[in-house]
Amino acid sequence: MNIKGKKVVVFGGTSGIGSATIKLLIKSKASKIYAISRNPKKLKVRYKNLILESVDVLDENNVKNLFKKIGPYDVLISTATGGERAVGPFLTMDMNGYKNSFDKVWGYANVIRYGIKNLNKNGNVVLVSGSPARKPKAGFVAISSAGGAVEAFVRAITKELAPIRINLVSPGVIDTPMSPLKGKARKAFYKNATKENIIKRAGSAEEVAKAILFVIENDFITGATIDVDGGWISS
C-alpha cells in the first residue's frame, strides 16, 4: 500500500506514538487524516487535511457515529490506551485498577467492530501492544496480561478480517507524554527502566511510528507483531 492519497483514521493520534504517526502520515501525503481522542486539542500539529475528533474509544455509540461520519477509508490505527492502568505487585494490587487495565482491549474491540464495515478491503489495521506482554517483569502483571489479551485478540481475528490485514506493533520503553516525570527524574526513570535492555535508552515515538508505517505499507504482512523495543525481548 502506498499511503499517498489514502484516508487514515488514528485513535490516540493526539499524543506520543499516535501523534508521531500523524506526522509521518502527513509526510507520506495521506489525503485525509483523523486524529481522535478524548481531548484532541492537545495535538499541536496542524495540516489542511488533518481533522481532530473528540471520542472516547470506550463509548460504543460515539465510536459508531464517528465511523458513520467518516465514511469509506483505507487504514485504521489505534494507539489509545483506553484508561488508567495498574502497576505493582499482583498480591497487593487494587483489583479495580487491574480490571481497568483491560480497557485497552475493549477500546480496540470497539474501533474494529464498528470501523471494519467502511474499511477498504485492500486496507489494513494497526494496533499497539507492548513488550511487558511478551517478556513480563515483576510489577507489570496488569499491563502484561492486558497486552497478552491484545496479542491473542489480533491472532484470533486475523483470519476473520482477511483480506483486510491486521498487525501489532509492540514498543518497549518509549519516551512519550505517558510519563508525567520532568527533568532529572525523567532521565533517571528511563535510564533505570532500560538498564537491562540491549540498547540502553528509551526509544522515541517516531521510532515506533516508523514501524506502524512499515506494516501499513507492506502488503505481505498480516497477523504479525513487530517489536520496537531496544532488545527488551532478547535481553
Ligand X SMILES: NC(=O)c1ccc[n+]([C@@H]2O[C@H](COP(=O)([O-])OP(=O)(O)OC[C@H]3O[C@@H](n4cnc5c(N)ncnc54)[C@H](OP(=O)(O)O)[C@@H]3O)[C@@H](O)[C@H]2O)c1
Which chain residues interact with ligand X by CB under 6 A? 11-12, 14-18, 37-39, 56-58, 79-83, 104, 107, 128, 130, 171, 173-174, 176-178
Long-range CB contact pairs, 13-16, < 8 A, 24+ = 13/37, 13/40, 13/43, 13/77, 13/79, 14/39, 14/40, 14/41, 14/42, 14/43, 14/52, 15/42, 15/43, 15/176, 15/177, 15/178, 16/79, 16/174, 16/176, 16/177, 16/178, 16/205
Least distance from ligand X to the Cβ atom of residue 95, Å: 20
Residue 76 or 173: which CB sits closer to ligand X? 173
Q: Are 12 and 21 in contact (CB under 8 A)?
A: no
Residue 12 or 123: which CB sits closer to ligand X? 12
CA 11/CA 116 separation, integer angstroms: 14
Least distance from ligand X to the Cβ atom of residue 7, Å: 19
Least distance from ligand X to the Cβ atom of residue 192, Å: 13
Residue 44 three-state SS: coil
Q: Return the residue nearest ligand X (CB atom).
A: 16
Least distance from ligand X to the Cβ atom of residue 28, Å: 19
Grid coordinates given for 184: 532529572
Least distance from ligand X to the Cβ atom of residue 163, Å: 26
